[in-house]
Amino acid sequence: MKQEPIGIWDSGLGGLTVVREIRRRLPGEKLIYFGDTARVPYGIKGRDTVRRFARENTAFLVEQGVKALVVACNTASSLALDLLREEFSLPILGVIEPGARAAAEGTKNGIVGVIGTPATVDSAAYTAALKALRGGLSVSSRACPLFVPLVEEGWLDHPATRLVAREYLSPLMEAGVDTLVLGCTHYPLLQPLLQELMGEGVRLVDSAEELAGELSELLGSGELETSDSEQGSLEVFVSDLPLRFRQIGESFLGESIENLTLLDRKEER
């Protein structure tokens, strides 16, 4: 069990923000990442489609012999985690529960904001998880569909991004949130801008960071074993556009991507 890899998948390259946090916390682990670049974005697709993709992506990583699975995509974690836990027998972590836990524990005034893709926000998965943890919380959610392309364009502090962010965040500011959950893989890259706009008094919760903490607890709990190697590794598979993935992905990951393979999954598209 010790030497088996951890599988992580996302709709595309955004999940590399989750990989970055896992590498930071668990540098000795072997990681296998799958980015479904042929079918991204998931955040504007319907529930049944996302659940079908989630099942296929998970099956692929399970075939690679992973000891645990991380669904890095907030959209898929919102819409498909129940199905995956029912159909697959390995430990499966999503990003919703860790993010919701950190927000529920951290809020002082009990007013929490959540931003994510339209599918994540429509599913109300964060709201349900937050209220299950602390019934009295008030939750304001806002879909921010333009953030994903802006981040992929590299416009992390561009006037256009500022304008869009102001528009998206203003109802959350009016609601008086003191905690804001970054409920999408791409949003950690906007953290400095979002913090500036929300003000220092608002705590931003990075679901990727929280998930990495939860994974390291799981590995230390005896349910699974931590790798005893000094140096971990990262193997990446994508379903399309490997060059673009490498080019943009390295800024999400904060390191170079050496081991990248294009999968031929034509029959599934």
* Residues with a known catalytic role: 73, 184
Q: Which is nearer to ligand DGL, 20 or 186 (CB)?
A: 186
- Considering the complex, what minimum distance in angstroms separates the CB of residue 184 from ligand DGL? 4
Q: Which is nearer to ligand DGL, 125 or 139 (CB)?
A: 125
List the x/- string, 169-208, binding to ligand DGL by CB under 6 A.
---------------xxx----------------------
List the x/- string, 131-170, binding to ligand DGL by CB under 6 A.
-----------------x----------------------
Q: Which is nearer to ligand DGL, 57 or 117 (CB)?
A: 117
Paired residues of 143 in beta bridges: 116
Do the beta carbons of residue 74 and residue 183 sit within 8 Å?
yes
> Helices marked H in 65-206 — which ranges?
74-87, 96-106, 118-123, 125-133, 147-152, 159-175, 191-198
- The yes or no reply on residue 69 touching ligand DGL (CB under 6 A) is no
Restricting to residues 6-35, name those near ligand DGL by CB under 6 A. 10-12, 14
Q: Which of residues 9, 34, 42, 53 is near ligand DGL by CB under 6 A?
A: 42
- Considering the complex, what minimum distance in angstroms separates the CB of residue 116 from ligand DGL? 6
Q: Which is nearer to ligand DGL, 14 or 242 (CB)?
A: 14
DSSP conformation letters of 11-60: SSSTTHHHHHHHHHH-TT-EEEEEE-TTT---TTS-HHHHHHHHHHHHHH
Contacts with ligand DGL by CB under 6 A: the residue count is 17
Restricting to residues 79-118, name those near ligand DGL by CB under 6 A. 117
Position of minimal CB gap to ligand DGL: 43
Do the beta carbons of residue 26 and residue 212 sit within 8 Å?
yes
Residue 40's alpha-carbon distances to 12, 53, 269, in angstroms, are 6, 10, 11
- Considering the complex, what minimum distance in angstroms separates the CB of residue 34 from ligand DGL? 12
* Closest of 36, 93, 58, 47 to residue 216, by C-alpha: 93
Q: Which is nearer to ligand DGL, 21 or 178 (CB)?
A: 21
Q: Which of residues 17, 37, 58, 75 is near ligand DGL by CB under 6 A?
A: 75
DSSP conformation letters of 210-268: HHHHHHHHHHHTTSS-----SS-EEEEEESS-HHHHHHHHHHHHTS---EEEE---GGG
Residue 55's alpha-carbon distances to 60, 70, 81, 217, 258, in angstroms, are 9, 13, 10, 25, 27
- The span from the CA of 21 to the CA of 175, in Å, is 30
- Residues forming the site for ligand DGL (CB under 6 A): 10-12, 14, 40-43, 73-75, 117, 120, 148, 184-186
